[in-house]
Each structure stands twice: as structure tokens, then as C-alpha cells.
Structure 1
Amino acid sequence: MMLKDKVAVIYGAGGAIGSAVACAFAAEGASLFLTGRHLAPVEVVAKEVVSAGGSAEAAEVDALDEQAVERHLRSVVEKAGRIDISFNAVGIPNTTILGVPLVEMDVEQFSLPITTYTRSYLLTARLAARHMIPERSGVIMTVTALHSRTGIALVGGYGPAMAAKEALTRDLSAELAPHGIRVVGLRPQAMPETRTIKEAFEPRAEASGMTWEQWQEFLAGKTHARRLMTLEEMANMAVFMASDKASGMTGTIVNLTMGSLDD
């Protein structure tokens, strides 16, 4: 097992990406501490993991609340002795962000994803790092999107938010690598099982005249494989990057756009 005896904290574990990563981590032997702003969906994921023979505890934690994050991390260390992996899969609804031209968007609406994504990532990363530094070991991870590297219309501040998370990943790595801590990110394009791709489609549906199936085909047509990545494929890569087999990887974002973006 690639993550045997590893202790992993996952933020946003009730969402599609967080839950997929949780199940993949558990299948590879990790002990999970799952969190989310709302407890109910996180408990569903924890029960799924446990029923499959894994180890998982659920907790209600607002990843924008520094004190709440730190209290939870202290409880994890008290129970498990350390923190090996911190995975930030926190997201925000995009329904009020997408579909509005930048020239018509107010500053607060534009700034919302930038402040939310960067704040939650910085808080969860730096607080986890403070517990990892004494152990001189640990992996801090997050998820971005291809918006970070290419211009896309009608996405408001979502693109700048993803670019900021990738810059923060590099900066965190530069500071934490000397302490034995790796910081890496995953950059998938669009996964049909997530709500993000549907929220991106809905504001464009009427204007474009595309059906849901045509929208997926349009996005898939941009990839080399002419298909979109699955949650399982993304989660499998998360397992590898969190494992000791990826010990040479830090300060980088893994391009999972299947060729949509050239590196």
C-alpha cells in the first residue's frame, strides 16, 4: 500500500474531489481525518470509507476559520501522533461567479474566489506545516484548474484565484522544502462527475445553444485523448503524489489536462 500508516487530513472532503481523494487514500492504507464546512456530507464519506475497511473520522471545520482549523489539527495530533498529508479540496459555488462579463462584475464578486481559495489554502497549509516541521516530513497538496494558465471568458475571479494558488504552492515549497516538507498541486481540466463542469455549462447553455452532451464533447475535443479525465484518475494521481514514491516532486503543479495545456 502506497500510503500505509500515513495520517491524512482532507479539507472539503464532502465534495466530489475531496471524497474521491479520501476513498483513494484510504484504499492505499491512510488513516483519514475528513473535514468540511457542513458535517453531513463529510460523515457520508467517512462511513463509506469505514464500510470498505478503512479508517476515517469526520469533523465540521470551516477552512476559513484559523482557530477552527488549528483546534482540529491539534486533535488529530493528539489522536494519531502526527500529520503526514494535508489535502485542500475546498471549493465555493460558482453559480454567482460564472457567466458575468468582467466589465459588468463588481469588485466584491470578482474578489470572492480569490480571497476564499487563497485564504483557505494558506491557513490549512501553514497550520499543517507547523505540525510537520518538527517531524521534518509531510506533504501539502491542493487542486487547481486550467484557468490558472489560459484565458477563459466569463469566469470572473476564478482564473486569478487558481493562478494565485499555484504561485502559493511554489512559494510554500521554497520555504518548507528545507524542513523536509513537499508542497504540490494537481491541475485537472474538467471532470464530468464534478459540479464545476455543470456550473460552467449552465450560464453558457442558452447563449451557445449547446446541450450537456455537446458541452462535454467540446471540452473533450481540446484534449489529446479526446476525452475528459475521471475523478478516479485524478484521485490515483493524488495518491502517487502524496506517497514516498514522489519524493522528488515539490514546488510544482501536475498537469492533468490531458494535453489541453502544454507545459
Structure 2
Amino acid sequence: MSDLTGLRVLITGAGRGLGRACAEAVVDSGGDVIAVARSESDLTDLANSRPGRIEPWIMDATDPAFHARVAALHRLDGLINNAGFNRPQPFTEVDIETLDAMLALNVRAAFLTAQAAAKVMVAQGSGVIVNMTSQMGHVGSPGRTVYCLTKHALEGLTKAAAVELAPHGIRMVSLAPTFIETPMTAPMLADAAFGKFVLDRIPLGRVGTAAEVAAACIFLLSPAASLITGSSLLADGGWTAQ
């Protein structure tokens, strides 16, 4: 039921971290990947790890040319809408540059990427869109007002678009992880005080791995999740259960 053989999946932010793990998992589950990132070296390394199965697109997810290229695809079975970033700041000190940059990538680009993919999927009458959100799309946290804002926005997109796209045979879901071991989070988690703050809030007592998130993503893309749309899968170790 988690077999993705023959499916074509586009993944943004695929060069490293969660995006790369998802790309590898899709290929290992039988699918083919269009991997999108700005770093040519990251994409080359990824493509070489799964020869002949990954098509690298060296593009920026905020670029209108990227959205046009997605919309021009003749076939697309899945989208993992993963590109995003965080720049923690106290609420009263958030600068306009940070606010605009995070809204541009985490919300605007994610919306336009999903919209472009949906156009292809509506034409073919099938498809699955997975929006990579966060536990912070369900709760609040100090120093993360903008990040929480953007991830709550994506959760709203998932609900509304899922209802609209369902008659076309398209599912849209969210995947909301807790803190995951990646190069991006490593410096934060290495801080003793912050590491304790995180672990104290995860009942399972540990952060997640990229492989665990990728496995959840494969499930959501697969026929095993055929009745799931408009909802969020919380891979959060119990953070939001409290």
C-alpha cells in the first residue's frame, strides 16, 4: 500500500534535510522525483545517489519561472511542498526583512507551488499534495511568531484547498513534524538550554529523524492514505498532545 511505483513526485527544498530524505524515500518506494533546490552541488549529489531516478531543477521556489514550469508539466502525481525556513526573533524585535522573507517563501511560494501543481493534477484527475508544515502550525512558541504564522497559514491552505480539490480526485494534506535532526536544527539543539526546552516538551523524550518524516510522507502520498485529505498528520512525538 505504500508502493509509489510509476508515480512522479516533485519536491521543493530537496537539496538537504527533510527534502532530501523525502526524495530518497520516494525513489526507494518506486517513484521518480523532480528535485528542486537552489544549490547545484546538493542536487548533483542527490541525483548521483539514485542514478536515473531524480531530475534536478536548480531553481528558486519563489521564482515565477519555477511556478510556470510546474504548471507546464504534462503529468505530476505528487508534490511535497517542503521549501521553507525559520529565523527566530522575539516578537517585538522582528524586522521587516525577516517578516517579508519568511512570508515570501513559507506562504506565498508554497501557495503558488501548490496552485501550479493543482492545475496539472486537475487536468489529469488525480494527485496528492503534501504541505510540509510543523507542530508550530498548531501551537505557539517563544521567538517563533513569524514561523508559527506561516505554518498556521499552510494548515489553513490545506483545509480549504482539500475541500475544493476533492471533486477532482486530488488530496491535499499537511505533515507537521516536531524538531528534527537536520543540519539546520543542529546548532539550535546543541545549545543546552534550548535542547532541554525541546526535550521537556516531547513526551517520547527525543527529537525526530529525517527518515521518520520521510516515512510519514510516503504514507500520505500512497494509496494507504486514500481517505485522508484536508487534515494534518502530527509527527511530533506528542508535543501538541499536552
> What TM-score results when the alignment is normalised by the length of structure 1?
0.85
The percentage of counterpart residues that share the same residue type is: 28
**AA of the residue aligned to 1:86:** L
| Alignment: residue pair count | 241
Match of 1:7 in 2: 8
Q: Partners in 2 of 1:236 and 1:118 — Cα distance?
A: 24
Deviates more, 1:61-70 or 1:181-190: 61-70
Match of 1:205 in 2: none
Match of 1:58 in 2: 56
Preserved contact between residue 5 and residue 31 of structure 1 (Cα < 8 Å): yes
Preserved contact between residue 12 and residue 18 of structure 1 (Cα < 8 Å): yes
Large movers: runs of 4+ above 4 Å: none
Preserved contact between residue 62 and residue 69 of structure 1 (Cα < 8 Å): no
1:165 paired residue among 125, 144, 154? 154
Asked if residue 90 in structure 1 is aligned to residue 83 in structure 2, the reply is yes
User: Which has the higher Rg, Structure 1 or Structure 2?
Assistant: 1
Asked if residue 184 in structure 1 is aligned to residue 173 in structure 2, the reply is yes
**AA of the residue aligned to 1:248:** L
Q: Partners in 2 of 1:72 and 1:148 — Cα distance?
A: 26
Q: Partners in 1 of 2:91 and 2:197 — Cα distance?
A: 23
Q: Which runs of 5+ in 2 are unaligned?
A: none
CA gap of 1:171–1:225, structure 2 versus 1, over 3 A, is same
Q: Partners in 2 of 1:49 and 1:89 — Cα distance?
A: 20
1:200 offset after TM fit, Å? Answer: 4.3
> What TM-score results when the alignment is normalised by the length of structure 2?
0.91
Determine helix, strand or coil for the equivalent of 2:198: helix
Match of 1:136 in 2: 125
Asked if residue 151 in structure 1 is aligned to residue 152 in structure 2, the reply is no
1:214 offset after TM fit, Å? Answer: 5.7
Preserved contact between residue 2 and residue 240 of structure 1 (Cα < 8 Å): no
1:227 offset after TM fit, Å? Answer: 1.4
Q: Partners in 2 of 1:18 and 1:168 — Cα distance?
A: 20
RMSD after superposition: 2.0
